[in-house]
């Protein structure tokens, strides 16, 4: 599934993300620039600290969390692959955002599983 990025009027300083065509109202996930992006590199079929960037593990945070613990995968064939890397170069590190309301842990899990089914295994 391709990653979708959204700009939301109610969160002007944050970038929403989903692998659905639309985010879940009240269960939005944002790119979490307070944590590091992990670049997966491969050379001759082996994962190494150098080589071709084939994927990313992108930190995300639920709108009801102050500190996220989730990551999503983005393959280098995804149209937003380069955009995500550029965003991290521009915005990382950033302070954690404070949520206006705290979400229940089960809601966060359900929202993540719904929006990122292939990343919730």
Tens digit of each residue's pLDDT (9 = 90 or more) over 53-79: 999 999 999 999 999 899 999 999 999
pLDDT at 100: 84
Q: What are phi and psi of 30, to 5 degrees?
A: -120, 155
Is residue 54 packed enough to be buried (19+ CB in 10 Å), middle (13-18) or exposed (0-12)? middle
Least confident range of 18-22, 26-30, 51-55, 96-100: 96-100
Residues 6+ apart with CB under 8 A from 37: 56, 57, 58, 59, 84, 85, 88, 92
What pTM value is reported for the model? 0.94
């Amino acid at each position: 599934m391709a990653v979708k990025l959204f700009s939301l009027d109610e969160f002007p300083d944050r970038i929403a993300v989903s692998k659905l065509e639309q985010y879940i109202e009240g269960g939005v996930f944002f790119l979490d620039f307070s944590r590091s992006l992990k670049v997966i590199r491969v050379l001759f079929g082996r994962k190494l600290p150098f080589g071709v960037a084939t994927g990313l593990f992108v930190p995300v945070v639920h709108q009801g969390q102050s500190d996220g613990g989730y990551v999503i995968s983005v393959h280098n064939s995804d149209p937003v692959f380069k955009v995500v890397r550029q965003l991290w170069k521009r915005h990382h590190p950033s302070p954690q955002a404070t949520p206006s309301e705290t979400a229940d842990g089960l809601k966060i899990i359900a929202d993540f599983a719904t929006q990122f089914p292939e990343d919730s295994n």
